[in-house]
Amino acid sequence: MFDLTMLDLSRIQFALTAAFHMVFPAVTVGLSLFLVVVYALYMRTDNPAYRSIYRFFRNLFAIGFGLGIVSGIMLTFQFGLNWGPFANATGPIVGTLLALEVVTAFFLEAAFLGIMIYGEGRFPRKVVLFATAMVALGAFLSTTWIMSSNSWMQTPAGFDFVNGQFVPTDWLAVIFNPSFPLRYIHMVVATILSSALLVTGVGAWYLIRGTHTEFARRTFSMGLGFLAIFAPLELYTGDALGQDILAEYQPAKLAAAEGNWGSENTGWNLLILPNRDAEENTFQLGVPFAGSLIVNHDFTFSEAVGGMDEFSEEELPPIMWTFYGFRIMLAAAGVIVLLAATSVVLRVRGELFSARWFHWLSMLAIPAGVVGIVAGWVTSEVGRQPWVVYGELATSETVSNLAPASLVFSVALILGTYAALFGTYVYYLVRAMKSGPESVSDDGDDDFDVEDDDLPGDDGAFTLDAPREYVGSGSGGRSAAGRAYFRIDGAGEVR
């Protein structure tokens, strides 16, 4: 068991980095869209409740974004560090798509993030809205290129293999490879869902506590609205992915995800304990007839699910990871769909803000989206094994020749660091929820305002002495309003 090869170690390291990284785009991509909507509503209605929502979630966004960036840089360089031969072989395609991401998305986000976070109060609201929209655009463009290159690795197209390198012959075929459109929509919707769960959960928390009522009602209602609209789309694209893409391009992955060896089971497995050598499950528990319906869309419940014995030992991915990754993703999807459906019923009956049990459920469901996304990636990436570029390039051929000691060292360092950072992130989330948004009733108008800045005595000169007190900085001395004001609190509290 402890007989790990260099390939195993590099895979563990990559999985750790990728899973850690994925948590943050999972929340921020969808949240960026939400922020644009909220800020636009604020500009239209001048309702300070929207400003307070914007600031609160912008702070959560900023921290998630920062963690996403730093772990993303680590991921990019690992392509070369740990997988040198992979970098050399796929550079002309994967590298080019990555370069496209950097010039179209990465810089866009980086340049406008500063304006979005620090610009409120310094620049006109239009500029802030524009910056927020550009950050969101960057986030979606980034997702586009990443999904394109990852989908190409799943269903490669439009290339020749020359001298050990993938040489693109048709860029449109590369970018719009067979699995890209569905996987892209599936991923984008998933990030919208997981952000909506966060927004909903924060609202639910304040509804339960009976504080920040206006903030709570609006976020709770908006979050659930996003969920109700997008949850069905997620189910549809997920189902279509299995039906159209996996069945045709990656049948071994589909078979492993369903966990049947033979081809006579019409049930749908819930738990299995596979034995690879004997080609059977030592333990298997399933729902009768459901497999036929879910996998084959067979309403007579008689068509059996395809089995893994159609594939040779070398073609099959690790079964446990693929099977349970898929089950966990589906369980998360179940929670989300149930929540969305219940919310529609409650909304129609006018009980959305009074059904306390539902508020508790909504709060507990916050992690479901992120869990679903990470589990989905596990299914998709582990299920692709033993290939790194499906059917073309084996993962084992692409690992860098590194000293085992330096690999052990780097894996340990990554594990420790990411565990600590993830803990800090969760701690921060909980604390931000506890300290709450700025009070909506505060009239601290933080908009760009010429008169305000031309007050006598304020000549704009550089001073370090007691800065102007912030009217809208919320309760308890700690501002949730924005990072630009943190320094004031810092000056007041820390020193």
Partner 1 sequence: MALFDALAPYVPHILLGCAAVSLLLYVVLDGFDLGVGVLSLFEPDGTRREEMMESIATVWDGNESWLVMLGAVLFAGFPLVFGVVLPALYIPLFLMLFFLTFRGIAFEFQAQHSEHSRLWGYSFALGSLGTAFFQGVSLGAFMDGLSFSGDAFTGGAFDFVSPLSLATGLLVTAVYVLSGAGWLVYKSGGELLASARRWGRRAVPVALVLALVTVALSSVYSPAAGNVTGLTVQSFLAFGLFGAAGVSMVAAYFALGGRDDLKSLGFAALAMAGLVGGFMAMIYPNVILPGVTMQEAVAPNSSAGLLLVVIVPLIPVTMAYNAVAYYLFRGKTEVGHHKKPGGESTGTSTQEG
Question: How far is residue 32's CA from residue 105's CA, in Å, rounded to a whole number?
Answer: 13
Three-state secondary-structure class, residue 327: helix
Question: How far is residue 308's CA from residue 41's CA, in Å, rounded to a whole number?
Answer: 52
Residue 96 sits in the site that holds partner 1 (CB under 8 A): yes
Question: How far is residue 302's CA from residue 293's CA, in Å, rounded to a whole number?
Answer: 9
Shortest distance in whole angstroms from residue 122 CB to partner 1:
5
Shortest distance in whole angstroms from residue 385 CB to partner 1:
21
DSSP 123: B
Contacts (CB under 8 A) with partner 1, residues 245-284: none
DSSP 472: T
Shortest distance in whole angstroms from residue 350 CB to partner 1:
37
Contacts (CB under 8 A) with partner 1, residues 112-171: 112-115, 117-119, 121-123, 162, 164-165, 167-169, 171
Token code pair at residue 265 = 């089971």
Shortest distance in whole angstroms from residue 36 CB to partner 1:
18
Burial of 214 (C-beta count, 10 Å sphere; 0-12/13-18/19+): middle
Q: Which stretch binds partner 1 (CB under 8 A): 176-184, 237-245, 348-356, 487-495?
A: 487-495
H/E element holding 89?
helix 84-90
Residue 490 sits in the site that holds partner 1 (CB under 8 A): yes
Shortest distance in whole angstroms from residue 380 CB to partner 1:
22
Contacts (CB under 8 A) with partner 1, residues 52-91: 59, 62-63, 65-67, 69-71, 73-74, 76-77, 79-82, 84-91
Residue window 14-53: x/- pattern of binding to partner 1, with contact defined by CB under 8 A: ----------------------------------------
**Binding residues with partner 1: total (CB under 8 A):** 94
Three-state secondary-structure class, residue 286: strand
- Cα-based distances in Å from 489 to 52, 55, 473, 476, 480: 18, 16, 9, 10, 10
Amino acid at the residue 26: A
SS3 string, 23-66, reads HHHHHHHHHHHHHHHHHHHHHHHCCHHHHHHHHHHHHHHHHHHH
Tell me which of 18, 94, 231, 378 binds partner 1, using CB under 8 A.
94
Contacts (CB under 8 A) with partner 1, residues 459-478: 459-464, 467-468, 478
Residue 7 sits in the site that holds partner 1 (CB under 8 A): no
Q: Which stretch binds partner 1 (CB under 8 A): 315-323, 337-345, 358-366, 482-490?
A: 482-490
What is the number of helices (H) and of strands (E) in the chain?
18, 6
Question: How far is residue 136's CA from residue 491's CA, in Å, rounded to a whole number?
Answer: 32
Q: Which stretch binds partner 1 (CB under 8 A): 178-186, 218-226, 375-383, 458-466?
A: 458-466
Residue 12 sits in the site that holds partner 1 (CB under 8 A): no
Shortest distance in whole angstroms from residue 145 CB to partner 1:
10
For partner 1, the closer CB: 278 or 466: 466
Residue 98 sits in the site that holds partner 1 (CB under 8 A): yes
Contacts (CB under 8 A) with partner 1, residues 376-435: 400-403, 405-406, 410, 413, 417, 421, 424, 428, 432
Question: How far is residue 232's CA from residue 221's CA, in Å, rounded to a whole number?
Answer: 18
Question: How far is residue 272's CA from residue 72's CA, in Å, rounded to a whole number?
Answer: 34
Sign of CA dihedral 30, 12, 94, 256: negative
Residue window 343-382: x/- pattern of binding to partner 1, with contact defined by CB under 8 A: ----------------------------------------
